[in-house]
Amino acid sequence: MLQGILLFAHGARDPLWARPFLDILDKVRSLRPTHEVDLCFLELMPPSLDQAVHEQTRRGVTDLTIVPLFMAQGGHLRHDLPVLIDALHRQHPALKIRVTTALGDSPELLDAIAQWVITQV
């Protein structure tokens, strides 16, 4: 069983916007060298979630975790993502897909952000 991780971000018109997400990608790849780890986007930037899942399954991934790099469970995660996941289940019925909570739902991350904020004041 080959495990995959997809970091799922919103996307933007400005390619510089993706820089922190590419840094996260590099860090996760170094921490999980036994996993296939990729970054994909909801809109405006390639690859899309569908394209990234297709690529991971082509490389043999059978167990996939999608990690939304969003600060909150907004409409994209509550409405758009479930539709995309349903389509992925139909396209890849043998693929086990798990979606984590949004990045911003992590108490540890929120604590780290708060600590960073107070160091800036």
In the 8-state DSSP scheme, what is residue 44?
A: S
The number of C-alpha atoms within 13 Å of 119 and in the hemisphere containing its C-beta is: 6
Q: What is the pLDDT of residues 45-70, one digit of tens each?
A: 999 999 999 999 999 999 999 999 99
As a whole number of angstroms, the distance between CA 88 and CA 92 comes to 6
Going from the N-terminus, what domains does the chain have, and what CATH number goes with each?
Answer: 2-120 (3.40.50.1400)
Residue 75 has pLDDT above 80, yes or no: no
* Rounded average pLDDT over 83-104: 94
Whole-number pLDDT of residue 71: 86
Query: Which secondary-structure segment (H or E) carries 8?
Result: strand 2-9
Q: What is the pLDDT of residues 101-119, one digit of tens each?
A: 898 889 999 999 999 999 9
